[in-house]
């Protein structure tokens, strides 16, 4: 974990300061300490800060952190025992916690919270506020914060007493878990609670949940200590989790992720996740391939294109140029004119790719998926014999390609040579689709598994559920082609598809949302990316109104997923529609004459964006710096509601506020995942994902003025 440790050193060089500027925020970073750093194997029982240094107590031994490693220490720390109390109330049960508050002693017991009164008797406290009145059980955590408030953690939830007034929190108020083990205070009013399943930081009456290997070496928390800088040292059954919260800016975070992507995710110009040979260890990375190298490379290139447009940074242009060349290479390398490959690898690639996708493998897959394409080899040789390219390309790849074509052409391509290259590849791919009746046709002369955009497919029992999305995508591809090449034939083809096949009507229902087996989250990704080209380059006001309706329909179904990229795409396109409304672009008396009230009703209902940009900012701020794919299970949480839709998976749901859980508390490190999936794993610690996860939504939102400049 050398790279993460170096990052921590850099973060620690900055002083602890309150945040005042709008573009600064607090970034949580976790470092795992175990036997590799000198700790004993197994449980750490206690964690203390003694003489400004962290002390870890395991069994009879004490270990001190010197900034680089843990070493056995002769330091001792005497802690007051909770076992000496006498004359406890009958049935109070075992004493679990204690604290002195306002000169009086409080004890938390198995059967209540008690205070010692003047006559040395114990009086039970029954906390109550406007919502709750509790007789407490298992009061395992008591602490006084730096502002002088008393906190407890019990079976019922968390309580805070401020000047004699109680405020009580349950799952409905955001408490994620209630089997407490300990509590400690930080220097700035925050309180940390340890539980049997993770740690909770209470800050400004909000609860941050830190669980799973992303944050801790083990979920069973035995003790927590917080140093003067606000860093939490969490003792668990399998080592120590150090959680640092430091000031950062959006741009500093972007620089970090650009460096991360360039150093560990660039394979011949292609960008995707890597493989970790040692679980959780980014230093053990090995460059990998994915089915969507073209899409992921295009999205990274788009991020850098927006960056270049905003900043003029030469590095951004170099990366954007390289990304375009890589995406274009996918088209140029294949034996079929205009057909884009999924992947390009050298012939000496370390994996036996064609053996993995044998004809026997294809036959087995067809038993579960009758449309699985039986094609061999799946990685044909390039004409020069130096590379292999993967076939059976999907609509996902096309969405990424066309999304980037328009952005690169508009924001990056400056010379005539650069613009000509974009025009050539866009024409090649679009002409391939037109020539093959709107299908991606492979080297075997047959359509790919997910590459059909033709009317016959949409009108069949096989493709009816894809006609809305794929019709919209095809019209988007043609709009991009028309804009980039300035060739009117693409407008003519789009008009034919609308007039004869009703593609624009299909596009008003751009995605299926029921039954659940028809719903996949990556359709949201490729659909919204396609909307970007469809709406930005459309000139017909009636079609713009129809597409605005379609955009709202598509986005409302995912508007609570806290996906900064999807929110950004919606916000940018909705705002562009608003701008046209304000400029008088739409003459409602001349539109939809068969129903003269329709145009005005669209403006009245959708003339303004319904986006709340605070969720873009929240997600950008809370995206972890560590993009390893961890397994994260949130199905046990108290602050969630399960999705009870018929036929839905049992582990789908959202927070009690009806929005997805925060990004740093779920296992998603890709832009095309379902944020309502409560139990997710993106590689189970054996993959690290590229920084596009932050870079694209950040630079996109910044370019479109959706976050502070």
Mean pLDDT value of segment 433-438 = 98
pLDDT at residue 20, rounded to an integer: 41
Which residues pair with residue 249 across a beta bridge? 24
Q: What digits encode the pLDDT tens for the residues 180-211?
A: 999 999 999 999 999 999 999 999 999 999 99
Helices marked H in 441-520: 455-458, 467-485, 489-501, 503-506
Q: What digits encode the pLDDT tens for the residues 553-586?
A: 999 989 999 999 999 999 999 999 999 999 999 9
pLDDT band, residue 81 (cuts 50/70/90): low
Percent above pLDDT 90 for the chain: 88
Q: How many CA atoms lie within 13 A of 188 on its CB side?
A: 16
pLDDT at residue 688, rounded to an integer: 98
Q: What digits encode the pLDDT tens for the residues 374-415?
A: 999 999 999 999 999 999 999 999 999 999 999 999 999 999
pLDDT at residue 80, rounded to an integer: 53
Give the count of beta carbons closer than 10 Å to the beta carbon of residue 635: 12
Which of 237, 187, 201, 218 lies closest to 41, judged by CA? 237
pLDDT band, residue 513 (cuts 50/70/90): confident
Residue 283: φ, ψ to 5°: -70, -15
Listed ranges 80-94, 107-121, 336-350; the one with the highest mean pLDDT: 336-350
Q: Is the pLDDT of residue 460 over 70?
A: yes
Mean pLDDT value of segment 136-150 = 98
User: Where is pLDDT greater, at 649 or 344?
Assistant: 344
Q: Is the pLDDT of residue 371 over 90?
A: no
pLDDT at residue 508, rounded to an integer: 96
pLDDT at residue 85, rounded to an integer: 80
Bridging pattern class, strands 285-287 and 274-276: antiparallel
For residue 674, whether the previous peptide bond is cis, meaning omega lies within 30 degrees of 0, is no
pLDDT at residue 103, rounded to an integer: 86
pLDDT band, residue 83 (cuts 50/70/90): low
pLDDT at residue 302, rounded to an integer: 98
How does DSSP assign 573-633, residue by residue?
HHHHHHHHHHTT---GGGS-TTSTTHHHHHHHHHSS----THHHHHHHHHS-S--B---EE
Which of 677, 422, 462 lies closest to 470, judged by CA? 462
Please, what is the average pLDDT of the chain? 94
Q: Are 44 and 236 in contact (CB under 8 A)?
A: yes
Give the count of beta carbons closer than 10 Å to the beta carbon of residue 305: 30
Mean pLDDT value of segment 288-300 = 97
pLDDT band, residue 12 (cuts 50/70/90): very low
Which of 100, 154, 166 lies closest to 129, judged by CA? 166
Residue 159: φ, ψ to 5°: -125, 150
Mean pLDDT value of segment 219-230 = 97
Q: Is the pLDDT of residue 172 over 90?
A: yes
CATH of 95-237, one of 3.40.50.300, 3.40.710.10, 2.130.10.10, 3.40.190.10: 2.130.10.10
Which residues pair with residue 152 across a beta bridge? 142, 159
pLDDT at residue 7, rounded to an integer: 53
Any idea where the domains of the chain sit in the sequence?
A: 95-237
pLDDT at residue 77, rounded to an integer: 61
């Amino acid at each position: 974990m050398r790279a993460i440790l170096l990052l921590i050193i850099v973060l620690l060089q900055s002083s602890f300061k309150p945040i005042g500027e709008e573009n600064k925020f607090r970034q949580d970073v976790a470092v795992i300490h175990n036997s590799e750093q000198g700790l004993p194997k197994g449980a750490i029982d206690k964690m203390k800060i003694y003489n400004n240094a962290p002390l870890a107590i395991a069994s009879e031994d004490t270990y001190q952190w010197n900034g680089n490693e843990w070493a056995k220490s002769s330091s001792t720390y005497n802690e007051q025992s909770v076992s000496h109390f006498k004359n406890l109330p009958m049935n109070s049960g075992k004493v679990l916690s204690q604290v002195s508050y306002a000169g009086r002693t409080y004890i938390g017991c198995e059967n209540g919270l008690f205070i010692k009164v003047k006559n040395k008797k114990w009086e039970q406290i029954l906390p109550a506020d406007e919502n709750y009145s509790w007789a407490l059980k298992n009061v395992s955590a008591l602490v006084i914060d730096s502002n002088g408030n008393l906190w407890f953690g019990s079976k019922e939830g968390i309580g805070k007493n401020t000047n004699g007034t109680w405020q009580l929190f349950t799952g409905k108020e955001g408490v994620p878990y209630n089997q407490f083990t300990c509590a400690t205070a930080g220097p700035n009013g925050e309180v940390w609670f340890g539980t049997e399943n993770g740690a909770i930081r209470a800050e400004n009456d909000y609860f941050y949940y830190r669980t799973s290997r992303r944050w801790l070496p083990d979920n069973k928390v035995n003790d927590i200590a917080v140093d003067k800088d606000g860093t939490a040292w969490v003792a668990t059954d399998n080592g120590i989790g150090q959680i640092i919260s430091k000031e950062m800016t959006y741009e500093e975070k972007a620089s970090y992720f650009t460096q991360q992507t360039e150093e560990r995710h660039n394979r011949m110009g292609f960008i995707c996740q890597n493989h970790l040979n040692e679980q959780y260890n980014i230093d053990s990375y090995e460059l990998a391939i994915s089915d969507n190298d073209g899409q992921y490379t295009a999205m990274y290139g788009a991020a850098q294109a927006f960056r270049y447009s905003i900043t003029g940074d030469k590095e951004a242009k170099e990366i954007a140029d390289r990304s375009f060349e890589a995406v274009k290479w996918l088209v140029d390398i294949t034996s079929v004119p205009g057909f884009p490959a999924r992947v390009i690898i050298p012939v000496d690639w370390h994996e036996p790719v064609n053996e993995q996708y044998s004809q026997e493998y294809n036959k087995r897959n067809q038993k579960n998926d009758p449309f699985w394409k039986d094609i061999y080899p799946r990685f044909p040789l390039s004409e020069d014999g130096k590379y292999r390219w993967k076939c059976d390309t999907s609509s996902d790849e096309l969405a990424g390609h066309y999304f980037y074509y328009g952005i690169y052409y508009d924001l990056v391509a400056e010379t005539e040579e650069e613009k000509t290259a974009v025009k050539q590849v866009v024409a090649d791919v679009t002409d391939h689709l037109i020539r093959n009746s709107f299908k991606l046709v492979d080297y075997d002369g047959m359509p790919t598994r997910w590459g059909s955009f033709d009317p016959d497919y949409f009108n069949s029992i096989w493709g009816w559920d894809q006609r809305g999305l794929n019709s919209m995508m095809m019209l988007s591809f043609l709009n991009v082609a028309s804009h980039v090449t300035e060739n009117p034939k693409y407008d003519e083809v789009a008009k034919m598809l609308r007039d004869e096949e009703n593609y624009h009507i299909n596009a008003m229902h751009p995605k299926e949302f029921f039954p659940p087996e028809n719903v996949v989250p990556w359709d949201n990704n490729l659909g919204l990316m396609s909307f970007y080209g469809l709406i930005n380059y459309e000139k017909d006001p009636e079609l713009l109104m129809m597409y605005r309706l379609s955009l709202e329909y598509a986005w409302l179904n995912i508007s609570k997923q806290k996906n900064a990229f999807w929110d950004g795409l919606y916000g940018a396109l909705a705002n562009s529609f608003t701008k046209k409304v304000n400029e008088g672009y739409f003459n409602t008396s001349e539109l939809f004459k068969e129903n003269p009230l329709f145009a005005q009703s669209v403006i009245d209902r959708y003339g303004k964006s319904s986006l709340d940009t605070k969720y873009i900012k929240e997600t950008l701020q809370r995206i972890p710096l560590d993009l390893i794919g961890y397994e994260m299970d949130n199905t046990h949480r108290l602050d969630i509601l399960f999705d009870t839709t018929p036929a839905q998976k049992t582990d789908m749901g959202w927070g009690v506020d009806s929005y997805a859980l925060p990004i740093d508390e779920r296992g998603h490190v890709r832009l095309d995942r379902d944020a309502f999936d409560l139990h997710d794993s993106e590689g189970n610690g054996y993959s690290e994902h590229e920084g596009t996860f932050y870079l694209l939504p950040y630079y996109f939102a910044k370019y479109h003025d959706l976050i502070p400049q």
